[in-house]
């Protein structure tokens, strides 16, 4: 004879409920890491391969942005970071191979090389610094604000050829880290198109 015990029944229901809540809670607490995903195809420019070698140094970053944390502002001047969403590496380190690949595909140079530690000889050098990379929630919709300073130098002459400040803003499609990540990728793609024009003009 099977006996039904209400206490046992409710104990099972309570256990299932706690298990379900635990699964949902752990799903919400998952750490997410994002990366830059930029197409390598460059905008159409007149061919100008002058046979020079371009050295691209590791981008620098202003204080607050030399981190894998994803920065955002809910009010001006108050920098905060997402707790569960991060870049897979610092934006500066992620940007270096993208710069090299994009400039190489532009066809302007005989060679484009990244410079990290070992000295390399070349004709021109490109130095960059990330001034700002943040998601701003004090505007609607929120937006990514990306500012980068680029400097092109003639190595043999030891002089600056040109300097330019690139300021890109891109609206986010969603009010969260995912929207900020996607808007960041679009902003960087726009910056790269402008950088190609910059190097074509001054190299």
Predicted TM-score (pTM) above 0.75: yes
pLDDT at 50: 73
Across the range 26-48, mean pLDDT stands at: 69
128-186 pLDDT per residue, tens: 999 999 999 999 999 999 999 999 999 999 999 999 999 999 999 999 999 999 999 99
pLDDT at 87: 97
> In terms of DSSP H, where are the helices of the chain?
6-28, 91-105, 177-202
Give 99-103 contacts, CB < 8 A, sequence gap 24+. 99/56, 99/59, 99/126, 99/128, 99/192, 99/195, 100/56, 101/40, 102/38, 102/40, 102/42, 102/192, 102/195, 102/196, 103/54, 103/56, 103/195, 103/196, 103/199
Confidence of residue 14 (pLDDT cuts 50, 70, 90): very low
Domain boundaries, the chain: 47-202
CATH topology of domain 47-202: Rossmann fold (3.40.50)
d(CA 187, CA 190): 5
Query: What interhelical angle do 177-202 and 91-105 show, nearest 10?
Result: 40
| Three-state secondary-structure class, residue 146 | strand
pLDDT at 121: 84
d(CA 78, CA 93): 25
Token readout for 76 is: 């001006």
Residue in 76, 50, 80 with CA at minimum distance from that of residue 161: 50
55-109 pLDDT per residue, tens: 999 999 999 999 999 999 999 999 999 999 999 999 999 999 999 999 999 989 9
């Amino acid at each position: 004879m099977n006996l039904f015990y209400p206490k046992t029944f409710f104990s099972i229901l309570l256990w299932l409920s706690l298990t379900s809540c635990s699964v949902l809670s752990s799903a919400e607490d998952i750490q997410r890491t994002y990366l830059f995903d930029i197409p390598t195809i460059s905008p159409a420019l007149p061919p100008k391969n002058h046979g020079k070698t371009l050295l691209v140094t590791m981008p620098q970053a202003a204080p607050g942005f030399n981190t894998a944390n994803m920065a955002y502002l809910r009010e001006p001047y108050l920098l905060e970071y997402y707790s569960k969403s991060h870049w897979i590496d610092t934006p500066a380190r992620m940007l270096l191979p993208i710069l090299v690949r994009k400039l190489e595909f532009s066809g302007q140079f005989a060679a484009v090389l990244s410079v990290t530690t070992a000295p390399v000889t070349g004709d021109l050098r490109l130095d960059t610094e990330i001034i700002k990379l943040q998601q701003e929630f004090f505007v609607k919709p929120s937006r990514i604000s990306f500012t980068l300073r680029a400097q092109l130098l003639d190595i043999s002459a030891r002089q600056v050829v040109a300097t330019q400040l690139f300021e890109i803003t891109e609206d986010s499609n969603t009010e969260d880290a995912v929207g900020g990540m996607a808007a960041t990728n679009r902003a960087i793609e726009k910056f790269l198109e402008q950088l190609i024009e910059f190097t074509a003009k001054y190299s």
